[in-house]
Amino acid sequence: PIQFTDTSIGNPTSWEWDFENDGIYDSFVQYPTHIYTSEGIYSVKLKITTGTSVDSLIKENHVTVSYCPPASPHNVNVEIIQPDAIISWTAVDTTECGSQIIPDGYIVKFSENDGEYFFLTYTTEVIHTHNFVAQFSPQMFYRVIAFKNYSREQIEYLEQLNNTCEKIKWSEVKQNLNSFRK
């Protein structure tokens, strides 16, 4: 959250903050906080009222919001319960920048030699079962990625991948996910 400070003089009695300068007032306290949910550059408007007057100030392009991805999941654990591998991890609650976050989901990828990785699943849970893998592979490596603010098209693409039996390279999946951002 961003903390805003009123530095008005003249003993204001009311405050109206418009954090996106879109004509909709978002807060009515003197020292508000606000969370921007989308990347962008925002102008902020403050309208104050004193006993005898009303005054407004617009700070153009005052706030810049950049994307900071979720931190990597911790405590990734693989448990073999023949013939499956059960992958679990601790839920992510911060970004790489240290801000609090609740990810929209996780992507699990796998590799037989810790080299080239392949898409395994998209999930909103903190556990996934890789069916029958222990029956066919003597070793397997897993990586889990948290994500936030994927578009509807990106989520639909991941859901389609969940419904395929193809072994798809992670580099290809990543390229396709990025193509939706353009």
Task: Assess whether 91 and 174 both reside in one domain.
Answer: yes
Task: Assess whether 31 and 80 both reside in one domain.
Answer: no
Task: Assess whether 55 and 127 both reside in one domain.
Answer: no
CATH number for the domain harbouring residue 82:
2.60.40
Domain boundary among 65, 82, 99: 65
Provide the pLDDT for residue 34: 94
Query: For the chain, what is the domain count?
Result: 2
Output the DSSP codes for the chain.
Answer: -EE------S--SEEEEETTSSS---B-SSS-EE---S-EEEEEEEEEE-SS-EEEEEEEEEEEE---PBPPPEEEEEEEETTEEEEEEEPP-BBTTS-B---SEEEEEEESSSSS-EEEEEESSSEEEETTHHHH-S--EEEEEEE----HHHHHHHHHHHT-----BHHHHHHHHHHTT-
Task: Assess whether 12 and 97 both reside in one domain.
Answer: no
Confidence at 51, pLDDT banded by 50, 70, 90: confident
Write out pLDDT tens, residues 61-103.
999 988 888 999 999 999 999 999 999 999 999 988 888 889 9
Domain boundary among 42, 65, 88: 65
Provide the pLDDT for residue 99: 82
Task: Assess whether 33 and 98 both reside in one domain.
Answer: no
Write out pLDDT tens, residues 119-155.
999 999 999 999 999 888 888 999 999 998 888 999 9
CATH number for the domain harbouring residue 8:
2.60.40.10
Give the structural domain span for 39: 2-65
Task: Assess whether 145 and 97 both reside in one domain.
Answer: yes
Provide the pLDDT for residue 123: 96
Write out pLDDT tens, residues 153-179.
999 999 999 988 889 999 999 999 999
Task: Assess whether 169 and 86 both reside in one domain.
Answer: yes
Confidence at 1, pLDDT banded by 50, 70, 90: confident
